[in-house]
Every structure is written in structure tokens, then in C-alpha cells.
Amino acid sequence: MARYTGPVCRLCRREGAKLFLKGERCMSEKCAFTRRAYHPGQHGQRRGKFSPYGLQLREKQKAKRIYGLIEGQFRRFFRHAERARGATGTNLLVLLERRLDNMVYRMGFARSRAEARQLIRHNHFVLNGHKVNIPSLLAKANDVLEIRERSRRVDSIKTSLDQASKRGFPGWLEVDAEHFRGKVVAFPNRDEIPMDIREQLIVELYSK
């Protein structure tokens, strides 16, 4: 299945939760989910309850859409999480948080993960001193991510970083906004991942 290219606010309404796919707009009164907090479509306001399988499927779809993955990518991450030590659901979320596009977003260099992917593909970043353009790359502890010198004048990056500095950064990341640099201090614990995802439902779905 190809990557979704339609209106992203529709995805938030479909999942019944804010997925923060449009950056600052999601936190303003212009947010479509705030104005119309019901499912899209002609019969959106008359949707009934979900079956247990429906709940599991919706939770998986929500996680996929938050991180901007297609089914094949998401399933590979799940298999990786399943083979690792510890709780599979927590392992899955930690792996997703370690993706380079998510790191760029969490460090405040982009307003959304979609924008982060575009910036990475356009060679705006350096990881541990080497140019990088692969959004799915998994960061490691003590990795240092920097914005290239020529890219520090990009308005969207500066605006995003200013806004993120006011909100604060996750405790497992160390961000030096003045020098456009961020470091992975450690991998996040489940409590440090703020996404409203019930990962156990995803585990149950893939374990069928």
C-alpha cells in the first residue's frame, strides 16, 4: 500500500485522537479534530462501538499514522521488537522513537515527522559527523545530530526550534538550540514516550 497523501486532519478524526501531524496547527483553535471531534464521512457521527479486533486494529493504525509508516515497515519494526529482550510493546515504541525522522522532530528541528522526513532527504543533517539522508535510520545512545552549516538559515527550522525550546525537550535527549545540535543521552523509558498508544493491543493483534 502506498503512503497516504490525503488531508492528514482526516486521520486524526478517524482515530478519534490528536495525532499531531500538522505541528503547531494541532495545538491551535484551527485544529480540525477540535472543531469536529467525530469520524469523517457522511455517517461519521453515527459510528457504533468497535469489536475487540476492531480496537486492536484501530490502535495499530493509530501508531502507524503517528509515526508515518506503511504496513510493511511497521510489521518489520514489530518483528524486531518481538525478538528483543523485554516487553514487546515497549520495545516497539522505543524502536519507533529511535527513528531518525522522529529524532529530528523530538529535537525540535521540524514541526512534524513528515517535515522531518523531507528535511532529512534533502541532506540538511549530519549524524556523528557524517551526512545522512535516511529517515528510517535507528539512532544509538550517544549519537550526535547536527544541522549542516548551510541549512541553519532555513526559516522553518529556526521557527520550529524556537517553538520547541519554549515547550521543552524529552529528558532522554540533550538539545543545544544555540548550536543547532542534539544528542541521544539514552533510550527512552515507556514513561518518557508521551504518545497515547495502547501497545498491548498491537501485540495482541499481531499475535493472532
Q: What confidence category does residue 163 fall into, taking pLDDT thresholds of 50, 70 and 90?
A: confident
**Residue 195 belongs to a domain:** no
How much is the pLDDT for 126?
95
Please give the average per-residue pLDDT across 61-67, as a whole number: 90
**Residue 14 belongs to a domain:** yes
Residue-wise pLDDT for 119-142, tens only, equals 999 999 999 999 999 999 999 999
Cβ(53)–Cβ(202) below 8 Å: no
Number of domain units in the chain: 2
Buried b (16+ CB within 10 A) or exposed e, 140-154: eeebebbbeeebeeb
Domain that holds residue 177: 98-184
**Separation of alpha carbons 206 and 176, rounded Å:** 39
Q: What confidence category does residue 166 fall into, taking pLDDT thresholds of 50, 70 and 90?
A: confident
**125 and 55 fall within a common domain:** no
Whether the predicted pLDDT of 149 surpasses 80: yes
How much is the pLDDT for 1?
47
Q: Which of 96, 131, 155 delimits the end of a domain?
A: 96
**Residue 200 belongs to a domain:** no
| CATH number of the domain bearing residue 160 | 3.10.290.10
**Residue 193 belongs to a domain:** no
**Residue 24 belongs to a domain:** yes
**Residue 91 belongs to a domain:** yes
Please give the average per-residue pLDDT across 38-47, as a whole number: 59
**Quick one: cell of 69?**
509508516
Q: What confidence category does residue 10 fall into, taking pLDDT thresholds of 50, 70 and 90?
A: low
**62 and 119 fall within a common domain:** no
Q: What is the pTM of this model?
A: 0.83
**Residue 58 belongs to a domain:** yes
**Separation of alpha carbons 112 and 146, rounded Å:** 18
Average pLDDT taken over every residue of the chain: 85
Q: Which of 96, 111, 139 delimits the end of a domain?
A: 96
Q: Which of 51, 70, 96 delimits the end of a domain?
A: 96
**90 and 46 fall within a common domain:** yes
- What are the Cα distances from residue 126, in Å, to 21, 49, 133, 149, 160? 24, 47, 9, 10, 18
What is the distance in angstroms between the CA of the first residue and the CA of the last residue of the chain? Answer: 22
**Residue 68 belongs to a domain:** yes
Please give the average per-residue pLDDT across 143-158, as a whole number: 93
Distant-in-sequence, close-in-space partners of 99: CB < 8 Å, separation ≥ 6: 67, 135, 136, 137, 138, 139
CB atoms inside a 10 Å sphere around CB 47 = 12
